[in-house]
Amino acid sequence: MAKKNLIIDTNVFLSDSECFEKFENNDLFVPIKVLEELDKHKTRQDSVGFHARQAIKRFDALRVSGSLSKGVKLGKGLGTLRFVKAEELVTEELPQGLSHKSSDNLILAAALAIKAENPSRKTIVVSQDVNMRVIADALGLLTEDYISSQVVASRDVIYEGFSKFLVDDFMIEEFYDKQDVWLYEEDAAEQGIVLYPNQFVMLVSVENEKKTAIARFINWNTPVKPMLNFEDSIWGVSPRNKEQKCGMDLLMDDDIPFVSLIGRAGSGKTLMAMLAGLEQVLGAEKGRYNRIIVSRPVQPLGKDIGFLPGTMEEKMAPWMKPIFDNMQFIMGKDRTLLDMYIDKGVIEIDAITYIRGRSISDAYLIIDEAQNLTAHEVKTILTRVGENTKIILTGDIEQIDNIYTNETSNGLTYAIEKFKESTLSGHITFKKGERSKLATEASKLL
Q: Minimum mean pLDDT among 4-8, 113-117, 222-226, 313-317: which range?
A: 313-317
Of the candidates 100, 129, 144, which is a domain's last residue? 144
Confidence of residue 301 (pLDDT cuts 50, 70, 90): very low
Domains: count for the chain: 2
CA max distance for the chain: 80
Q: What is the CATH number of the domain that holds 338?
A: 3.40.50.300
**Helix crossing, 312-331 with 269-281: angle to 10°?**
90
Query: 344 by DSSP, 3-state: which?
Result: helix
**Helix crossing, 103-117 with 130-138: angle to 10°?**
40
Predicted pLDDT of residue 424 = 97
Provide mean pLDDT across the span 167-194. 95
Please name the amino acid found at residue 384. Answer: R
**Helix crossing, 375-382 with 411-419: angle to 10°?**
60
pLDDT digits (tens, 9 = 90+) for 69-101: 999 999 999 999 999 998 888 888 888 778 888
DSSP character for 19? G
Residue at 173 is within a domain? no
Predicted pLDDT of residue 315 = 63
Q: Is the pLDDT of residue 306 over 80?
A: no
Do 16 and 118 belong together in one domain?
yes
Residue at 296 is within a domain? yes
Predicted pLDDT of residue 257 = 97
Residue at 212 is within a domain? no
Q: Identify the CA nearest to 19 among candidates 60, 55, 47, 52.
A: 55
Phi, psi of 57, rounded to the nearest 5 degrees: -60, -35
The whole-chain average pLDDT of the chain stands at 88
Q: Is the pLDDT of residue 414 over 80?
A: yes
Asked whether the beta carbons of 104 and 132 are under 8 A apart, the reply is: yes
pLDDT digits (tens, 9 = 90+) for 42-66: 998 777 888 999 999 999 999 998 9
Residue at 150 is within a domain? no
Predicted pLDDT of residue 114 = 93
CA 123 to chain centre: 32
Provide mean pLDDT across the span 333-340. 82
pLDDT digits (tens, 9 = 90+) for 120-160: 999 999 998 889 999 999 999 999 998 776 777 778 889 99
Residue at 13 is within a domain? yes
Q: Is the pLDDT of residue 314 over 70?
A: no
Q: How many CA atoms lie within 13 A of 208 on its CB side?
A: 9
pLDDT digits (tens, 9 = 90+) for 243-267: 999 999 999 999 999 999 999 888 9
Q: What angle do CA 360, 362, 367 make, to 5 degrees?
A: 55
The edge-to-edge listing of strands for the beta sheet with 212-217 is: 162-167, 199-205, 212-217, 225-226
Confidence of residue 302 (pLDDT cuts 50, 70, 90): very low
Please name the amino acid found at residue 195. Answer: L
* Residue 110 Ramachandran class (φ > 0 left, ψ -120 to 50 alpha, else beta): alpha
Do 117 and 250 belong together in one domain?
no
Of the candidates 121, 144, 167, which is a domain's last residue? 144
Residue at 165 is within a domain? no
Please name the amino acid found at residue 116. Answer: A
Predicted pLDDT of residue 286 = 84
From first CA to last CA, the distance across the chain in angstroms is 45
Confidence of residue 308 (pLDDT cuts 50, 70, 90): low
Provide the sign of the torsion angle of the four alpha carbons 48, 54, 55, 57, taken in this order. Answer: positive
209 vs 317, more confident: 209
What's the predicted TM-score (pTM) here? 0.80
Do 140 and 253 belong together in one domain?
no
Asked whether the beta carbons of 171 and 181 are under 8 A apart, the reply is: yes
Q: What is the CATH number of the domain that holds 87?
A: 3.40.50.1010
Residue 428 structural domain: 234-445
Predicted pLDDT of residue 321 = 76
Provide mean pLDDT across the span 291-301. 75
pLDDT digits (tens, 9 = 90+) for 6-34: 999 999 999 889 899 999 999 999 999 99
Predicted pLDDT of residue 389 = 95
Confidence of residue 303 (pLDDT cuts 50, 70, 90): very low
Of the candidates 115, 144, 173, which is a domain's last residue? 144
Residue at 209 is within a domain? no
264 vs 318, more confident: 264
Do 437 and 334 belong together in one domain?
yes
Do 19 and 130 belong together in one domain?
yes
> What is the Cα–Cα distance from 396 to 378, expressed in whole angstroms?
15
Residue at 215 is within a domain? no
